[in-house]
Amino acid sequence: MSRGCLLIGAPASGSGKTTISLALMALLTAHGKRVQAFKVGPDYIDPAFHHLITGRHSYNLDVWMGGEEDVRRTFTRHSQDADIALIEGVMGLLDGVSSDSNWGSSAHVAELLDCPILLVLDIHAMARSAAAVVKGFQVLSGGASIRAVVLNRAGSARHGAMVKSAIEQETGVPVLGYLIHDASIVLPERHLGLITAQETRDESRRKLEVTAQILGESLDVEELWRVANQSDDHSKSVVVPRTPKSHLSKRPRVAVAYDRAFNFYYPANLDLLTQLGAELLWFQPTSGDHVPREATHLYLGGGFPGEYLADLVQHPDMLADVRHRVLCDQIPTLAECGGYMFLGEAIWSHGTRFPMVGAIPMETEMTPSLQELGYREMTVLTEGIFPFGSRFRGHAYHHSRIRRSNGLVSAYQVSSARAPLAPEGHGTSKLVAGYSHLYFPSAPEAVRTWLEQA
C-alpha cells in the first residue's frame, strides 16, 4: 500500500518538534487519516503522547540501539497499513552519535527511509534570518531532503507571512503554515521533558486538540499531503520477517509494572516478549496491586517513582509481596532505572526517607541535577537470567544516585557510545537490575533465555 511519510525535524531541542508533530497527528487523525507515529532516538515520553493522539503504539527508530536494518524493519512493519507515517525527530536534525557526521541523527533516519523532511523553525525574534537557517540545513543534510517548513512561535499572521516570503524566495522550500505563540497551549514539563501522557491525559488531549485547530487555520493540508507523498520507496525493499516461533515448553507469563510511576517501556521490547510466546500481565504498584500470582517472570521498567513515593509507601503489603516474589520465590526479574530504585531498601527525596521493596541492598536519592545521560552498551557480568557475556544496547537518563549500598554484585559492564564507563547495577542468578534501559531487539536470544527460565 502506498503511504505518505514525513520526518519532523528542527535545528535544536526546544524548537517545537513535539508540539508540531502532535498537532499534525491530531489534525490528520481528525481528517480520518490512519496516522502511524514514530520517534527517532531512545525517548519514552513523546511516543506515549503519539499513542494518546493516534490510538496506535509509536515505535522508536534508533540507529545506534538497533542498527539500520532494525530501523527499516520497524518502520515497514508498523506503517504498512497506515495512510501516513509521521516521524518525530530527536534533538537537532543533524545531531547524532558523532559531531563529524550525520550518523545516528534524524537526518540519517530520513535518508535510510527515503522520507521527506519537514523542518520546524522557532521564529521568535527572527525574520529574514530564518532563510539562512533553512539554507544551512539544505547544505549539510547530506542525502536527506528538506521538502517543507512549518513555523513555530510566530508573533502574528504578518510575522509568519514575512518569514514565509523570505524562506521561499531564498531556498525554494515551501512554508506550509505557522503556529501563533500561545502560552495557554504549552504542555507541562519536568526535567525529562513533558509530563507523561499517563499523568496528564485529559489536559494534554484538550490542549493538543486546540493546538491542532490553531495550526489548521494556516496550514496548507493539500501541500502537506503532496510533500509527504513525494517518495513512495520508504521501505527500501525490506522484507518484514515472520514473527519468531516460540519453542518454550511452557508459556511464560511476564508481570509488567505499568502505572503513573512505571511506564518507560519500548514497545519493541513488549512486542518481542509476545512474539517469543509470553503473556503480559499488567499491574499497578501505586494502586497497591500485588504481582499477579500466575506470573512466572517480573519486568519493572523505569519512570518516575520519585514523584509517587507517598503513594508507594501507602501499600506496605504490596512492597512485601514484591520482595517475597523476588527474594523467596526467585521469580526471574529484570528491573531498569526506576524499577531498580524501587527494588532498593529506600528512596530519599528532599531529606525524607521512603522505604521501598528491600530486595537490593542499597538506598538511592533523588537529585536536582542530571546524573547520567546517553547511549549505553551493557555486557552482562552474571550467569543468570541472561547468559554471561550477553551484550545489549540501550540508554540511560536519570536524576538520582546511589546514596548507600552494601554488597552490590554488578550486573553489567557498561560502556557509552564514546568511551568505557564502569560496572553497574546488581545481579544474581534470578535478578538483573541497573540504571540502564535495555533495547531488547539488540539481543533477542538473551531475552529468549530469560523467558526460558521459570
Residues 58, 161, single domain; the answer is: yes
Write the CATH number for 345. Answer: 3.40.50.880
Return the C-alpha cell found at 219.
496550514
Residues 144, 71, single domain; the answer is: yes
Q: Is 54 left (phi over 0), alpha (psi -120 to 50) or beta?
A: alpha
Q: Find the domain containing 164 and state its range.
A: 4-228
* Euclidean distance between CA atoms 304 and 306, whole angstroms: 5
- Is the residue at 245 inside a domain? no
Q: What is the pLDDT of residue 131?
A: 98
Return the C-alpha cell found at 245.
516461533
Domain count for the chain:
2
pLDDT tens for the 454 residues of the chain, in order: 358 999 999 999 999 999 999 999 999 999 999 999 999 999 999 999 999 999 999 999 999 999 999 999 999 999 999 999 999 999 999 999 888 999 999 999 999 999 999 999 999 999 999 999 999 999 999 888 999 999 999 999 999 999 999 999 999 999 999 999 886 766 665 444 546 666 666 777 788 888 999 999 999 999 999 999 986 554 444 555 544 555 677 899 999 999 999 999 999 999 999 999 999 999 999 999 999 999 999 999 999 999 999 999 999 999 999 999 999 999 999 999 999 999 999 999 999 999 999 999 999 999 999 999 999 999 999 999 999 999 999 999 999 999 999 999 999 999 986 667 789 999 999 999 999 999 999 999 999 999 999 7
Residues 201, 286, single domain; the answer is: no
Return the C-alpha cell found at 315.
501499600
SS3 251: coil
Return the C-alpha cell found at 313.
509507601
Residues 165, 208, single domain; the answer is: yes
Angle at 426 between CA 421 and CA 432, to 5 degrees: 105
Residues 313, 438, single domain; the answer is: yes
Return the C-alpha cell found at 430.
534470578
Q: What is the model's pTM?
A: 0.93
Active site residue 337: yes
CB 154 within 8 A of CB 123: yes
Residues 172, 289, single domain; the answer is: no
Q: What is the pLDDT of residue 424?
A: 95
Residues 211, 291, single domain; the answer is: no
Q: Which is the catalytic residue, given 5, 115, 328, 337?
A: 337
- Is the residue at 238 inside a domain? no
- Is the residue at 420 inside a domain? yes
Of 181, 211, 228, which marks where a domain is finished? 228
Q: Which residues contact 116 (CB under 8 A, 6 or more apart)?
A: 5, 6, 7, 110, 145, 146, 147, 148, 227, 228, 230, 231
Return the C-alpha cell found at 160.
509568519
- Is the residue at 95 inside a domain? yes
| Cross-strand partners of 353 | 348
